[in-house]
Chains A and B, each alone.
Chain A
């Protein structure tokens, strides 16, 4: 009995680490130093136990000869919720960069932002608009009439600023062309907005 329990424990550990690859009964027998017959018996017992017990959220599924853990179907809703609601997190580095550029250089077009950053910036811009921190404030002159971006009132509130003039002054010698300088600029920016300060 004790040995059977220990074997179950090992099978649980092994199936857990093998993830989506799963393991065959042959592999399990090899890894736990036992016979395939014994593993078959153990797996049958485990499959049934997992299925029956209401406090278990996992099941063992056999797929193309390999056994693997899957979550119980009845818990699909809370997993769905996990996917849909990534934890409210602070802004990503890219978003912060774009936000800094918009804050100091507004009104500014996407192409100009991308020139400064040297990378495509569509997504951070749309993240920032979705979060209501930046918005379209007009159109540039000339062909294309590109969208001009600026910060919102929500931006001021979010960072506890009275108005745009209370943004910390931009260091004079910052050349945003160079990676290191951008980092430096970002550090200043983040320091300025650190909620702990």
Chain B
């Protein structure tokens, strides 16, 4: 709410820098800050994952992510929200998505964070293609 215009929504093939994301939302008016980080797991429904690629409809994903952030900032008593989603090929353990929320109080920081990630899972036009140790590779449904 301080008029600065840092990047708050980002779809990127670059590695996600959580410390930089936290900086984006920082303000001494907001005592509570939550960060959600989604990383590439080594298993999915019992199958060993060996590799993962995210494909995005990039232009739309960018604007949908901005919408999600703006809607959530309006719906909760929060300061700033920033979110970033990775695209391309990821290694096990790498960060696929990160959401940072700063708020005056912790309840709103948790609730808004959860809301952003749920909306991302429902609306963001991004698709996960997973390869497994058993040789199969598939597009994932949420």
Note whether A and B form a binding pair: no
Residues of B that sit less than 8 Å from A by CB: none
Residues of A that sit less than 8 Å from B by CB: none
